[in-house]
Structure 1
């Protein structure tokens, strides 16, 4: 039996186990996978993150949290899609109005593919939680009914909105 093949198999199995096991309690990152989000953002002092390549400003705190003393304070809360849209329309964060729900591509661009639980760069989003996050994108399901898409920040995968509530990150165009 080829030892290199066996070593590759064991390495692949361990990687699969780390990324799929419900026993994983904290963020796990594989150094063998290139990072996808490092140095993409410019951190602002007001809790926002500027992404110059896309011209987007993200607010680093989740719904239910506030930017206070250089960090996100409070507890992230899930909310309905209608409440998420209402909140985005009214809120002023980092001195700006005009916040919105990100489309699915924008939201998934935050995924750090070398990590799980959460699959995000916690240097930029330190308080993000593994869970389902609302997007402003939908697809037609088999009944030609729109289904809202979400990103599961446990592993970065796009999912149909199977739940009545989700977490919220907001973005605005600059």
Structure 2
């Protein structure tokens, strides 16, 4: 009975892990190839085409040298803006919430769950991330990018969503 339980547990675990694995189109060109990125520090990555420096992990996670660990935090849009402001207050490096176009530049359109370059942004939650771009039609909503499938949508600003900060490359970098 114990071996049957162990076997069933392993089977369930392998199905769950397979369901969480990134799936990409076969024979498709990457929209965010590894060559477009370079490591700046252990926790930051340069996206060469845009000149933007990104946090490697979602807010709440930490890069351990090979992957992002810990629980990514979700927050409202206002909390995300305040988090970025507070985060950069002492650093004075220009960290901020990315706009829609900036965040969408990270989306790997040939992959899902997550739809992002897994080499440079490991363990990204396959869900929505805030942008700083408000909806022009509805002041109670702002744009998000979903790293489930690389889609964009507007969400109510009081919903909780993930966050990854960005900054412009400094002249000394």
The TM-score bracket by the shorter chain reads 0.7 to 0.9
Please list, as runs of the form range in 1=range in 2, the aligned pairs for 1:11-26 lying within 5 A after superposition: 24-26=19-21
1:25 and 1:70 map into 2 onto residues whose CA distance is: 18
* Larger proportion of helix: 2
Equivalent residue for 1:18?
A: none
The answer to whether residue 25 in structure 2 is matched with residue 30 in structure 1 is yes
What is the SS of the residue equivalent to 2:46? strand
1:146 and 1:166 map into 2 onto residues whose CA distance is: 15
1:171 and 1:133 map into 2 onto residues whose CA distance is: 12
TM-score w.r.t. the length of structure 1 is 0.76
Unaligned regions of 5+ residues in structure 2, if any? 1-17
1:28 and 1:71 map into 2 onto residues whose CA distance is: 18
| CA RMSD in angstroms, aligned pairs only | 2.1
Unaligned regions of 5+ residues in structure 1, if any? 1-22
TM-score w.r.t. the length of structure 2 is 0.77
Shift of 1:83: 1.3
2:36 to 22, 37, 40: 40
Equivalent residue for 1:138?
A: 134
- Deviation above 3 Å: which 4+ runs of structure 1? 67-71
